[in-house]
Structures are given as structure tokens and as C-alpha cells.
């Protein structure tokens, strides 16, 4: 990206003035830099002008000196640039320091939260908050300038001011994470944030820049570079950018920055992200023939358990995945009290990493009732008979003790049965997709299927969970029948 830096020295006209602080910060960010410099000579005139994008005009008292319009693009690092201008006498470091101090002085005055007013006696007064006690005290000075000087002295020495001036994303990240935890953020979500932080943020330049110095251009460059460098999908980018977006909003709400500049960053989704296509159905769902084979393998293991089978009812839990479509974390916590006549009430799930049972389902839903198939009823009855339970007894359906069924035991069962069936491995989540796809193919209303699946909206059900459960031969035969004259 080309950076055009404009320098002006000597007495500045309002429309010409560019703060040297912006110059310094720009060249620190930009390497290489294309310089277009127009400077007033010591005996120069009232204003100078840029003739076009590649030429510099310097107007003197006796005429206009036009420089070559075809300047080659020169590339220098920031140290070279600063050294050159200092050696040429074009930059007076005292003037630079004074300009920076003046801007900081004005920033402190503008951010002072209390009213400044002139009293009947002609003196000026305002209030400031004491850091230790938290109480406010009155300051009175004879002139407005003296009052401003006093405020600058107080704020410049305060820890809070220095904190706000220097805190960066790396310094506020943990505070934001702890804030998220207070609002019932799921541990899995917090873990994902930490993973994204380590992968895309930690040890990068952007996280060490003070928040008050981040601007829209810097963040826009960061976002687009992130997408292109890592070839991110739309979903991946917005997940990763959550840290930047919400941390800056958090800083805004804490008063560290006035407004989050990330609000102005816009991503052209159509141009930046390739169109997403659904994966092949054969990788996402099980065919009817595959389900029959897997059912037989699971039942055989239940009836003739190998010695190493620790979780005896896992084979039956495997089959119920296809019959009721629960999430694996919901399957682990199903209880006999959840069975009511013709329905299975799914109303809790297991956070397996924390071994914690949560009294609601994903997305904070209270629960849902799923119709029980004849096969599902048979499976549940088999578990009762195995444990010798009466119809009134309660407990976890697929556990042989008082603990929820192991999350990993179900995952291992899918690996084991797919390997025995000599078919492509697909997880329990693919069994859930199979259940949903079969219901939609049976012309059950999508809204109803979405409710049974526990989805927040029908779009998720239709776009992400509906696949073709027919085999290749069945698809070909269906096409032939459809086109037969």
C-alpha cells in the first residue's frame, strides 16, 4: 500500500498543517514508503501546493519551481526518513515535541468530564476526582489558561490517564475474557477464544499498539490482511474478529477510548470470501443400507459384549442417535423421567470437558419433545431390562451407575462400528444430520423438524443439516424413473 506523507515546516497555514505526530506514526507503520514532500523554504510564501500525485511544486517569492513529474518511487525505512529530514534541518525536534505536547494538552482538556465555568468573582473553577478517595474536589484559578494548566498537571500525573494512554489489546484481553465469563459464556466458547488468541493475535504487532492510537485504516488493513494471509472463510473471519470487535467495545464502555474504530471497518463478503458449497452428502449422512449394517453390529456387541467393553449400554445409545437425533452431549444425560408416553423430552446437556450437567440445551433453550419411534421405545426398554429396573425407577438411561454416559465412549463407538462395517467414518453429529434429513425427505414441515432438532431457526436446519441419504445407485434409479416417458 502506498502512503503519501506531507510535511510542512515553518509558519503553518491552517489548511496546510499536518501534525508531525501523524507523520511519525505513519512512517512507523509503513515500510516501504513513497514520499511526496513539499516544504516551504525559509523565505517561502504563504502556501504550497501539490501539483499532482507524482509531482511536487514549491512556490517561492519569484516563481514556481516545478520538479520532475516522473519521479521514481523511492523506498526508505522510517529511520532513513527521519535521519534525512533532521540532517537537512527541515525538522526541528523542539518544534515536533511542542506540537505533540500541544495536541496532548488539548486532548486532556477535551476529555475532562466536569463543567468548567467562570464565577461571579471572575475566577474560573471546575472539579476533579481524587484517585484515592474517589471524591471530587474543586479547583479555582484566576484565568482559564491557569485552570487548564492545573488540569493537565493533575491528569498527566494520574495513573488512570497513563493507563488509558498506554493500554493495548494484549493488556485488556484477560479483563474482557473475565467479563465474558460473568455473563455465563460457555467454557467451550471461552476455550475457542483463547485458541483464536494464541493463533491469530498473540505476538503480533496489532496487540501491542495502544488502543487510543488504533484507527479505522490500521484495523481495516489488519482485517483484510488476516483474511488473505490465512485464506479464511466468512465464518472463520467473523469468529476470529470477535476478539478485536468486542474487546474494543469493552474498552469503549470502560471509558478507555471514546468510540471503537472497528465499528467503521467493513468487509465486502462477496469479494473477500469464496462462495461456500455444501460438502458431499456421502460424507455427511448415512444411507439406509449403512444404517442397517451398523444397527446389526451395535446389537451384536450389546448381546455378545467383548470383555473390554466398559460402557455396556453404549451400543443401544448408538442406535438411539438415529432414532431421536439428539446431540451427543444431550444423549449422555437422558433420564427415564424424560420419557413421557410417546415423547422423549430433551432438556439438559453435558459439558464434557468440565464434567458439568447444564439444565438446558444448547442456545439456552428450555428443552424440546421428540416423538419416540417403535425402535426407540424398544431400545429404552432394553436398558431397563438389562438393569432390572421397574417402570417407575429413574436414572440415566444409558449409564450403569449414577454418572452420565461417557461422551468419549459414544465417539469411540462410532469409530469402532464404522471400521467394522468397512465404511467411511462419520461421527455422531452425522447421525443427527441423517435423522434430520430423513424427516425432511418424508415431507415433514421444516419448522417442525427444526423444533425437533433444537435449532434456533429453520435456515440452519435446511442449509446445514439437510443432505441426500440415498446411495448412488438409488439416485441414478430415481433419475431414470423421473425421466421415463
User: Cell 486532556 maps to which residue?
Assistant: 108
Q: What is the distance between the alpha carbons of residues 374 and 371, in angstroms, rounded to a whole number?
A: 10
Neighbours of 116 (CB within 10 A): 15
Quote the mean pLDDT of the chain.
81
* Contact (Cβ atoms closer than 8 angstroms) between residue 204 and residue 221: no
Mean pLDDT throughout 17-24? 43
Q: List, in sequence order, every residue forming a beta bridge with 136; answer none if it has no partner.
A: 129
Mean pLDDT throughout 339-355? 89
pLDDT at 6: 39
User: Which own/partner pairs from 407-414 qualify as long-range (CB within 8 Å, at least 24 positions apart)?
Assistant: 407/328, 407/329, 407/332, 407/350, 407/352, 408/352, 409/310, 409/311, 409/314, 410/314, 410/317, 410/318, 410/321, 410/328, 410/331, 410/332, 411/328, 413/298, 413/314, 413/315, 413/317, 413/318, 414/318
User: Cell 496489532 maps to which residue?
Assistant: 206
| Pairing status of strand 4-5 against strand 34-35 | parallel
Length of the chain: 485
Neighbours of 101 (CB within 10 A): 11
pLDDT at 33: 39
Q: Of 384, 380, 405, nearest to 324 (Cα)?
A: 380
* Residue 133 pLDDT grade (very low, low, confident, very high; cuts 50, 70, 90): low
Q: What is the distance between the alpha carbons of residues 222 and 169, in angstroms, rounded to a whole number?
A: 13
Cell numbers given for 292: 442397517
* Residue 325 pLDDT grade (very low, low, confident, very high; cuts 50, 70, 90): very high
Residue 232 clears pLDDT 60, i.e. is over it: yes
Give per-residue pLDDT as tens, 162-202.
Answer: 777 789 999 999 999 999 988 866 777 888 999 999 999 99
Q: Of 165, 154, 143, 164, nearest to 109 (Cα)?
A: 154
Mean pLDDT throughout 199-206? 95
Cell numbers given for 433: 444430520
Residue 52 backbone dihedrals phi, psi, to 5 degrees: -165, -175
Q: What is the distance between the alpha carbons of residues 227 and 100, in angstroms, rounded to a whole number?
A: 35
Mean pLDDT throughout 12-24? 42
CATH superfamily for domain 282-479? Intergrase catalytic core (1.10.443.10)
* Residue 1 pLDDT grade (very low, low, confident, very high; cuts 50, 70, 90): very low
Give per-residue pLDDT as tens, 25-34.
Answer: 444 444 433 3
Does 169-272 carry CATH code 2.60.120?
Answer: no
Give per-residue pLDDT as tens, 385-401.
Answer: 999 988 778 899 999 88
- Compare 124 and 38 and report the one with higher pLDDT: 124
Mean pLDDT throughout 205-217? 93
* Contact (Cβ atoms closer than 8 angstroms) between residue 407 and residue 328: yes
Q: What is the distance between the alpha carbons of residues 185 and 172, in angstroms, rounded to a whole number?
A: 18
Q: What is the pTM of this model?
A: 0.62
Amino acid at each position: 500500500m502506498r502512503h503519501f506523507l506531507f510535511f510542512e515546516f515553518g509558519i503553518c497555514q491552517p489548511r496546510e498543517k499536518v501534525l508531525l505526530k501523524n507523520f511519525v506514526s505513519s512512517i512507523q507503520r509503513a515500510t516501504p514508503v513513497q514520499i511526496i514532500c513539499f516544504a516551504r523554504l525559509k523565505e517561502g510564501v504563504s502556501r504550497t501546493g501539490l501539483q499532482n500525485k507524482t509531482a511536487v511544486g514549491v512556490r517561492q517569492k519569484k516563481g514556481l519551481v516545478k520538479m520532475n513529474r516522473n519521479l521514481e518511487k523511492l523506498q526508505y525505512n522510517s529511520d532513513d526518513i527521519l535521519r534525512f529530514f533532521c540532517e537537512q534541518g527541515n525538522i526541528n525536534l523542539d518544534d515536533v515535541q511542542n506540537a505533540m505536547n500541544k495536541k496532548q494538552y488539548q486532548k486532556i482538556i477535551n476529555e475532562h468530564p466536569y463543567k468548567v465555568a467562570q464565577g461571579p468573582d471572575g475566577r474560573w473553577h471546575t472539579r476533579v476526582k481524587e484517585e484515592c478517595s474517589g471524591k471530587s474536589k474543586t479547583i479555582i484559578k484566576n484565568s482559564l489558561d491557569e485552570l487548564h494548566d492545573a488540569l493537565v498537571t493533575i491528569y498527566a500525573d494520574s495513573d488512570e490517564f497513563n493507563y488509558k494512554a498506554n493500554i493495548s489489546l494484549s493488556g485488556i484481553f484477560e479483563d474482557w475474557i473475565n467479563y465474558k465469563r460473568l455473563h455465563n459464556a460457555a467454557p467451550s466458547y471461552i476455550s475457542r477464544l483463547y485458541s483464536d488468541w494464541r493463533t491469530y493475535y498473540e505476538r503480533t504487532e496489532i496487540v501491542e499498539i495502544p488502543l487510543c492510537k488504533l484507527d479505522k485504516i490500521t484495523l481495516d488493513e489488519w482485517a483484510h490482511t488476516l483474511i488473505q494471509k490465512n485464506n479464511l472463510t466468512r465464518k472463520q473471519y467473523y469468529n476470529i474478529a470477535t476478539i478485536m470487535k468486542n474487546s474494543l467495545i469493552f474498552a469503549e464502555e470502560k471509558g478507555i477510548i471514546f468510540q471503537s474504530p472497528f465499528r467503521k471497518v467493513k468487509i465486502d463478503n462477496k469479494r473477500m470470501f469464496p462462495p461456500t458449497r455444501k460438502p458431499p452428502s456421502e460424507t455427511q449422512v448415512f444411507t439406509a443400507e449403512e444404517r442397517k449394517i451398523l444397527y446389526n453390529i451395535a446389537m451384536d456387541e450389546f448381546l455378545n459384549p467383548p470383555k473390554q467393553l466398559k460402557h455396556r449400554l453404549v451400543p443401544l445409545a448408538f442406535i438411539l442417535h438415529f432414532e431421536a437425533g439428539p446431540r451427543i452431549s444431550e444423549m449422555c444425560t437422558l433420564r427415564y423421567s424424560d420419557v413421557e408416553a410417546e415423547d422423549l423430552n430433551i432438556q439438559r446437556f453435558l459439558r464434557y470437558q468440565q464434567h458439568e450437567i447444564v439444565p438446558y440445551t444448547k442456545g439456552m433453550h428450555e428443552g424440546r419433545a421428540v416423538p419416540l419411534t417403535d425402535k426407540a421405545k424398544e431400545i429404552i426398554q432394553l436398558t431397563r431390562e438389562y438393569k432390572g429396573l421397574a417402570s417407575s425407577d429413574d436414572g440415566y438411561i444409558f449409564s450403569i451407575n449414577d454418572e452420565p454416559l461417557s461422551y468419549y465412549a459414544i465417539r469411540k463407538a462410532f469409530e469402532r462400528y464404522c471400521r467394522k462395517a468397512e465404511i467411511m467414518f462419520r461421527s455422531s453429529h452425522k447421525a443427527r444430520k441423517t435423522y434430520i434429513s430423513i424427516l425432511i425427505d418424508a415431507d415433514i414441515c421444516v419448522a417442525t423438524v427444526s423444533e425437533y432438532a433444537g435449532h434456533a431457526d429453520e435456515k440452519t436446519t435446511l442449509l446445514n443439516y439437510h443432505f441426500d441419504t440415498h446411495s448412488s445407485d438409488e439416485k441414478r434409479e430415481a433419475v431414470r424413473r423421473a425421466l421415463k416417458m
